[in-house]
Amino acid sequence: MCIGGRLIALTLGVLLVAPLTVRAHNESVHQRMTDYAYHVLLASARFSQGGEMSGRLRSVLDRLKQSNPSLTTFFADAAVAIPKLRALKSGLPLDPAPCITPALGALFGLGSPPNWKLPSGTNLAEVSMSRVRLPVNIHYGYGAPICMIDERYVPSGALESVNPGSLTERDYTGVTLGYWAAAPDKETKDWVLRSTTLETLQNPFVVSRIAVDTTVAVSTLCVLACGLFPPACVACPAVGIGVAGQVVDEFTSIDADSLESEDYVGLGHFIDMKPTPADPPPFDSKPAKLIMRAGPKGVPDLTEDLVTALFDLGGIHVNHAKALAPTNYQITLGASGAMGTDFHPNSINRTSSQWELPTVPHLQLTAVDNLAMFGYEAAKMNRGSTIEAKRLGWPLHALGDASVPMHTVGASGYGHRPYEDSVDMAYDALVGSGSMGASVATVRDVIQRAFKWRKFIQDWRRSHQTAEVPVRDLVTAVAKYTRQKSDAQPSVFQPIRSLQYIVDEDAATAGYDTPAMAAIQRDLLLEGIAAEVAFLMAVTEVAP
């Protein structure tokens, strides 16, 4: 086997896996943002109750309170929120994958799955967050060959002092909530697509001269050229191609009507904060991704051109009967013409044919504030069940997405993935985990911002005379902040980086791995975390 495998490995650096950049790739950032937000609440609660923490952290919180006495209430409210969050059912699945590292092997036995020490007669999903004794990472429960327990987990920087202990002793409420905040990126049922023609989906080398068991690298252009119909395959001198009948023979082996992929999940994770033109009319107060309007100035970049071409070539449409997003993320909470619990008008509901007739690049998708609202309402409807925590992940996820510039202009290109990869790589440095000084400065900054968002929610509650959470307003306001900040620094949007990412991920990501970019990444990241703090606090106050 593997004739030429080494050769392929050597050339893999210029491998095009798929130029579809619609997929979010920052699930672990979502988890860490939510965990950080929980720890800020925990620190606030401890401070309010005189609990233990590092002297430097306490001193910073003391000074904050002196400079803004209203924070006393904020800290007290956090103390009320924490036990409610810890009482949520974890909702975690039981993943039997074995642990193979020495550290985990010493705890459970090498090759054994994690021991959750569950009370007799209960399962992991049913236990409260406070009884989850191990930190799961984002891939836990998704079929990894080894257990996805994050044995290196420690709370970020100074926040470790409010959640001390060994691996099996800490409070993992934040980690588990973060796990659910990452989960929307794995909802492959959200956008089930179909192809009118299968040619671009099935590998075109149907009757090829390539030997079985051998991997070769072939030109991507060839794949695309062959895509539509065999005559175009003259562009592939090294590869033979079957006649139409044989092509169809192969095509019957895949289900062209149920295409699911994590590559498509992120299609509904945008909110376009640009002024909305009248044509085509939007279906919600804030539109979502519509490729023809992608980008900071409404002009799609080359990556969007490529994505459009691929989807059009494949005749890729939404499968309305199977895709969950059109149903879930069109929000119709009230009767016709009524307002939802957040006082937004209902979405304009589209018929199945309105969803299905255009190919995906020419379709207005659903906005991420609606995704948030769906999760919030679903959590309320499932209060006390094992689904509640999972659904709370939806608004948390939306707040994270709203803090990424490309999500606020409907852009899959313009440096989207390199930006997110860069934040993922540099996350610890961005929140100052490595030094006590930087860490307490970050905590202070987040609390000040969270207080602002707390006030935003309280003002809204007063003006609407309700105890609900203005989920869509919160997501939109964070997105607005992100948009303003990224507008002020246009180099955030680097269209060339997305194209470069296709052939050289490292160079493209390095384009965002700079001090100037780190400054804005940190600003937006902290804003998103702060909004999550305010959301978590507010959601525990919603009456059953």
Residues of this chain, 295-324, that bind other proteins according to CB under 8 A: 302, 305-306, 308-310, 312-313, 315, 317, 319, 321
Interaxial angle between packed helices 388-402 and 368-381, expressed in degrees from 0 to 180 and rounded to the nearest 10: 160
Compare residues 92 and 469 and give the one whose CB is closer to other proteins: 92
Compare residues 179 and 376 and give the one whose CB is closer to other proteins: 179
Q: What is the dihedral of CA 290, 296, 300, 301, to 10 degrees?
A: -140
Q: Give the one residue of 92, 198, 477, 536 binding other proteins; rule: CB under 8 A.
A: 198
Smallest separation, CB 299 to other proteins (Å): 9
Does 436 sit near other proteins (CB under 8 A)? no
Residues of this chain, 214-233, that bind other proteins according to CB under 8 A: 214-221, 223-225, 227-229, 231-232
Compare residues 199 and 377 and give the one whose CB is closer to other proteins: 199
End-to-end Cα spacing for the chain = 61
Q: Which residue do the tokens 């086997």 mark?
A: 1
How far is the C-alpha of 183 from the C-alpha of 179, rounded, in Å?
6
State the binding string over 30-69 for other proteins (x if CB under 8 A, else -). ----------------------------------------
Does 139 sit near other proteins (CB under 8 A)? yes
How many Cα atoms within 13 Å fall on the side-chain side of residue 482?
A: 36
Compare residues 190 and 369 and give the one whose CB is closer to other proteins: 190
Q: Give the one residue of 187, 342, 356, 401 binding other proteins; rule: CB under 8 A.
A: 356
Does 13 sit near other proteins (CB under 8 A)? yes
Residues of this chain, 68-127, that bind other proteins according to CB under 8 A: 98, 100-101, 111
Does 461 sit near other proteins (CB under 8 A)? no
Compare residues 65 and 186 and give the one whose CB is closer to other proteins: 186
Smallest separation, CB 113 to other proteins (Å): 13
How far is the C-alpha of 160 from the C-alpha of 182, rounded, in Å?
22
Q: Give the one residue of 359, 366, 386, 408 binding other proteins; rule: CB under 8 A.
A: 359
What's 71-97 look like in SS3?
A: HHHHHHHHHHHHHHHHCCECCCCCCCC
Q: 442 near 431, Cβ under 8 Å? A: yes
Tokens of 213: 């068991």
Does 327 sit near other proteins (CB under 8 A)? no
State the alpha helices, DSSP H only, in 109-196. Answer: 173-182
Compare residues 191 and 535 and give the one whose CB is closer to other proteins: 191
Smallest separation, CB 516 to other proteins (Å): 13
DSSP secondary structure letter of residue 195: E
Smallest separation, CB 521 to other proteins (Å): 13
Does 353 sit near other proteins (CB under 8 A)? yes
How far is the C-alpha of 378 from the C-alpha of 397, rounded, in Å?
15
Tokens of 64: 């904050």
State the binding string over 413-432 for other proteins (x if CB under 8 A, else -). -----------xxxxxx---
Amino acid identity at 342: D
Smallest separation, CB 8 to other proteins (Å): 7
Residues of this chain, 365-424, that bind other proteins according to CB under 8 A: 424
Does 20 sit near other proteins (CB under 8 A)? no
Residues of this chain, 511-530, that bind other proteins according to CB under 8 A: 513
Tokens of 389: 């925590």
Does 339 sit near other proteins (CB under 8 A)? no
Residues of this chain, 235-254, that bind other proteins according to CB under 8 A: 235, 244-246, 248-249, 252-253
Q: Which residue do the tokens 């193979």 mark?
A: 100
| Angle at CA of residue 286, ends 536 and 281, nearest 5° | 160
Q: Give the one residue of 205, 270, 329, 414 binding other proteins; rule: CB under 8 A.
A: 205
Tokens of 443: 């905590």
Smallest separation, CB 342 to other proteins (Å): 32
Tokens of 157: 């920087």
Compare residues 302 and 387 and give the one whose CB is closer to other proteins: 302
Compare residues 42 and 426 and give the one whose CB is closer to other proteins: 426
Size of the site for other proteins (CB under 8 A): 110
Does 155 sit near other proteins (CB under 8 A)? no
Does 14 sit near other proteins (CB under 8 A)? yes
Compare residues 98 and 345 and give the one whose CB is closer to other proteins: 98
Compare residues 154 and 378 and give the one whose CB is closer to other proteins: 154
Does 16 sit near other proteins (CB under 8 A)? yes
Contacts of 102 (CB under 8 A, 6+ apart): 110
How far is the C-alpha of 83 from the C-alpha of 34, rounded, in Å?
16
How far is the C-alpha of 175 from the C-alpha of 379, rounded, in Å?
18
* Cα 292–chain centre separation: 23
Contacts of 459 (CB under 8 A, 6+ apart): none
How far is the C-alpha of 504 from the C-alpha of 29, rounded, in Å?
22
Q: 498 near 301, Cβ under 8 Å? A: yes
Compare residues 69 and 231 and give the one whose CB is closer to other proteins: 231
Compare residues 404 and 479 and give the one whose CB is closer to other proteins: 404
How far is the C-alpha of 479 from the C-alpha of 399, rounded, in Å?
8
Q: Give the one residue of 94, 144, 338, 348 binding other proteins; rule: CB under 8 A.
A: 144
Cis link prior to 275 (omega < 30° from 0)? no
Stretch of 2-10, 37-45, 86-94, 369-377 contacting other proteins, by CB under 8 A: 2-10
What is Dmax (Cα atoms) for the chain? 79
In b/e form, how buried is each residue of 494-515, taking b as 16+ CB within 10 angstroms?
bbbbbbbbbeebeebbbbbbee
Query: Taking Cα atoms as reference points, which of 384, 414, 394 lies closest to residue 500?
Result: 414
Smallest separation, CB 462 to other proteins (Å): 41
